[in-house]
Amino acid sequence: MSSRTREIWKPVAPAETGSGRREFLRRTRAIVWKDLLIEVRTKQSFTAMAFFAALVLFIFSFAMGADVRLLQATGGGLVWIGIAFTGILSLSRTYQSEELAGGLEGLRLLPGEQRAIYVGKLLGNLALLLTLELFLFPTAAILFQLELWRVALPLAGVALLGTLGFSIIGTFYAALAVHVRARELMLPLLLFPALVPVLLGAVNATTLILTGDPDGAMSSWIRLLVAFDVIFFVVCTWIFPLVLEE
């Protein structure tokens, strides 16, 4: 037996291709790199999301009129409606590149920790949504006469926690819905009930940041968001391989 033959027939254990954490990080990085590169080149998701988000905010702005106090009181909720609606557009395209390439089986054929695929897809969605919010919040500030720059830091924290929770659940449900025929219909139907806690926390925390928090209720909403993110990240990451396998 030649040395090359021996090399090929050597049993390949996970440890030999970069055990545990290293393999996980390498595969996660590969998914994020590939997805963002495709998005940068096609701009399909971002263009659709930005257009839709702007449309939602403009319509709400026209509907609410010029009552500044009303706009400020409802501004937080309106922004999160925009994020939720446009987020669905992004999530429904989470596995689009795989479907165009022939299906999720292509990813399953590549050996290694499958949870890295979920985390990579999640980070890609998170990056896309956070980039959208960089455009969404200033637009809302102009339309709803919100003084966001004064509360930029806490608002960024709430936006990050809320968007993370949205992406955690959304990326998981998008994988569940890949094989469903009426996916565009089924994904929101499945997703929104599961998103109630994170939307509740994000809307209330944002509103308290914008209107003031005399009763100190903010911390309980932040705790809800953190708990939601941690629990669902662990659960979704853990059971993702069951969703990916046929």
Partner 1 sequence: MNSPNLAVSLRGISRRFGWFWALRDVDLDVPPGTSLLLAGPNGAGKTTLLRILAGVLAPSRGEGRLAGAGLNDNDGIRRRSALLTTRGYLYDELTALENLRFVSLMCGSDTSPATSAGILDRVGLASVADRRVGAFSSGMRKRLALGALLMRPVPVVMMDEPFASLDDHGRALVDDIVEEMLAAGQTVFLASHQIGDSLRLIGRVAFIDRGRLAFTCAADELSERRYAYFEDRE
Cβ distance to partner 1 smaller for residue 43 or 150: 43
Q: Which of residues 112-131 bind partner 1 (CB under 8 A)?
A: 112
Cβ distance to partner 1 smaller for residue 19 or 219: 19
Cβ distance to partner 1 smaller for residue 2 or 196: 2
37 lies in the binding site for partner 1 (CB under 8 A): yes
Are residues 204 and 230 in contact, defined by beta-carbon separation less than 8 angstroms?
Answer: no
Binding mask 161-180 for partner 1 (x = CB under 8 A): --------------------
Residue carrying structure tokens 């929104």: 192
Stretch that binds partner 1, among 6-14, 123-131, 149-157, 221-229 (CB under 8 A): 6-14
Are residues 117 and 34 in contact, defined by beta-carbon separation less than 8 angstroms?
Answer: no
Stretch that binds partner 1, among 15-23, 76-84, 152-160, 225-233 (CB under 8 A): 15-23
Residue carrying structure tokens 């055990």: 19
47 lies in the binding site for partner 1 (CB under 8 A): no
8 lies in the binding site for partner 1 (CB under 8 A): yes
Q: Which class for 22: exposed (0-12), middle (13-18), buried (19 or more C-beta within 10 A)? A: exposed
Q: CA dist 29 to 22, 118, 187, Å?
A: 11, 11, 26
Cβ distance to partner 1 smaller for residue 33 or 58: 33
- Least CB distance to partner 1 at residue 181 (A): 16
In this structure, the number of other CB atoms found within 10 A of the CB of residue 230 comes to 13
38 lies in the binding site for partner 1 (CB under 8 A): yes
Q: DSSP class of residue 110?
A: S
109 lies in the binding site for partner 1 (CB under 8 A): yes
Alpha helix (H) ranges present in the chain? 3-9, 20-42, 44-64, 68-91, 96-101, 105-108, 115-143, 152-176, 183-211, 218-244
34 lies in the binding site for partner 1 (CB under 8 A): yes
101 lies in the binding site for partner 1 (CB under 8 A): yes
20 lies in the binding site for partner 1 (CB under 8 A): no
Q: CA dist 143 to 65, 75, 97, 129, Å?
A: 10, 9, 35, 20
Stretch that binds partner 1, among 104-112, 138-146, 162-170, 177-185 (CB under 8 A): 104-112
Q: DSSP class of residue 54?
A: H
What's at 38, amino acid-wise? I
Residues interacting with partner 1, by CB under 8 A? 1-2, 4-9, 11-14, 17-18, 23, 26-27, 29-31, 33-34, 37-38, 41-42, 97, 100-103, 105-112, 245-246
